Amino acid sequence: MLVYKIFRRPEWDSFRANGETNGAPVDLADGYIHLSTAAQVTGTAAKHFVGESDLVLVALEADDLGDALRWEPSRGDKLFPHLYRPLRLGDVVWDKSLPLGAAGHIFPEGVV
């Protein structure tokens, strides 16, 4: 099962340059990296990235993240994937631009 992380372009560029990341400021404040399932990622984009362009959507294989991936209640008491270790470039299955269209973010085919 794939899980997803949305990065702003400077965050993505820093991640690629360093080979790992502890996430965005919200992740650092909360002590884990916020991830979303395919069913959750559009809501995440709408809530936390409204109006933002030049985003990158990153796919990760949940099974490959091991015990550091925990499913915990979040928005609407639904279980969200949270990663309790740095995210490594080797964890990335694929990355794609997440452009902003007139009606919101345009997700790659097959994600939502």
Dihedral-angle region of residue 66 (phi above 0 means left; psi in -120 to 50 means alpha; beta otherwise)? left
CA–CA separation, 80 and 100 (whole Å): 24
pTM score of the predicted model: 0.95
In this predicted structure, the answer to whether residue 96 has a pLDDT above a threshold of 80 is yes
CATH of 2-99, one of 3.40.50.970, 3.40.1310.30, 3.40.50.2020, 3.20.170.20: 3.20.170.20
Residue 60 neighbours by CB distance under 10 Å: 23
User: What average pLDDT does the segment 80-106 reach?
Assistant: 97
How does DSSP classify residue 32? S
In this predicted structure, the answer to whether residue 12 has a pLDDT above a threshold of 90 is yes
Q: Which of 39, 97, 37 is nearest to 61 (CA)?
A: 37
pLDDT value of residue 76: 86
How does DSSP classify residue 103? T
Q: Are strands 100-101 and 69-73 parallel, antiparallel or unpaired?
A: unpaired
The token pair at 33 is: 């990296």
pLDDT in tens, 15-71: 999 999 999 999 999 999 999 999 999 999 999 999 999 999 999 999 999 999 999
pLDDT value of residue 39: 95
